[in-house]
């Protein structure tokens, strides 16, 4: 058999792998660091537990995408990106469009079925929803202020080189504002429907 194990050439790069490579490329990090970053910084767009991160790091090490730059105290292993890893990162960033969709938004999924709730229950649901987004917007605006301060002082990107966290932050701010406006619109719509003649359409017979 001639065509031996070609190193899985053109498979898509998984987002977890891409994110890990990006973070390691910004600055060398340990598995522990990476887990914390997912928790604190990326959590709004992607999550990963350490139980997912350590095996992925081991795999990337095997494939030569990262190397152990230094071993610290308490068994700490600090990973740095390799040239091959850098190429894989760019491949992830430039490969054909991912399924962007709002895909898997449980709140929006529920909103398809508001008609099964009483008006009061539906209002309650939408109000709770709005509160979540209001709280999150506040947090993002705080983050924005911190970014602004750092920039004015001419400081470096907080997470390292190549990291452009201010750009997704803007998406977050706009997303939360949009969702707040939407919940308000939906509240009115729910009330409109409650007052309208039962949605079944006027009898035509």
> Does residue 74 touch DNA according to CB under 7 A?
yes
Looking at the DSSP bridge assignments, the partners of residue 71 are 77
The Cα 191–Cα 123 span in angstroms is 9
Give the nearest distance from C-beta 3 to a copy of itself in angstroms: 31
In this chain, which of 57, 180, 186, 190 binds DNA, going by CB under 7 A? 57
Q: In angstroms, what CA-CA distances link 159 with 6, 74, 164, 179?
A: 36, 23, 9, 28
Partner whose footprint covers residue 51, from DNA, a copy of itself, none (CB < 5 to 8 Å by kind): DNA
Partner whose footprint covers residue 55, from a copy of itself, DNA, none (CB < 5 to 8 Å by kind): DNA
Q: Which stretch binds a copy of itself (CB under 8 A): 27-35, 52-60, 68-76, 193-201?
A: 193-201
Q: In angstroms, what CA-CA distances link 31 with 7, 45, 79, 86, 99?
A: 25, 19, 8, 18, 28
> Does residue 36 touch a copy of itself according to CB under 8 A?
no
In this chain, which of 98, 138, 146, 158 binds a copy of itself, going by CB under 8 A? 98
> Does residue 111 touch a copy of itself according to CB under 8 A?
yes
Give the nearest distance from C-beta 169 to a copy of itself in angstroms: 9
């Amino acid at each position: 058999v001639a065509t031996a194990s070609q190193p899985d050439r053109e498979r898509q790069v998984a987002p977890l792998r891409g994110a890990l490579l990006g973070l390691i490329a910004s600055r060398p990090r340990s598995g522990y660091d990476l887990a914390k970053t997912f928790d604190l910084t990326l959590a709004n767009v992607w999550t990963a537990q350490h139980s997912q991160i350590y095996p992925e790091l081991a795999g990337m090490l095997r494939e030569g995408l990262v190397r152990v730059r230094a071993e610290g105290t308490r068994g700490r292993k600090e990973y740095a990106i390799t040239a091959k890893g850098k190429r894989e990162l760019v491949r992830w960033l430039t490969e054909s469009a991912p399924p962007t969709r709002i895909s898997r938004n449980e709140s929006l999924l529920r909103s398809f079925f508001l008609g099964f709730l009483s008006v009061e229950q539906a209002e309650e649901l939408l109000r709770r929803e709005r509160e979540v987004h209001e709280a999150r917007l506040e947090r993002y605006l705080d983050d924005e202020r911190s970014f602004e301060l750092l920039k004015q002082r001419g400081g470096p990107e907080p997470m390292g080189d190549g990291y452009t966290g201010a750009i997704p932050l803007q998406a977050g701010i706009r997303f939360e504002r949009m969702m707040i406006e939407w919940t308000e619109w939906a509240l009115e719509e729910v009330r409109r429907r409650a007052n309208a003649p039962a949605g079944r359409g006027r009898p035509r017979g």
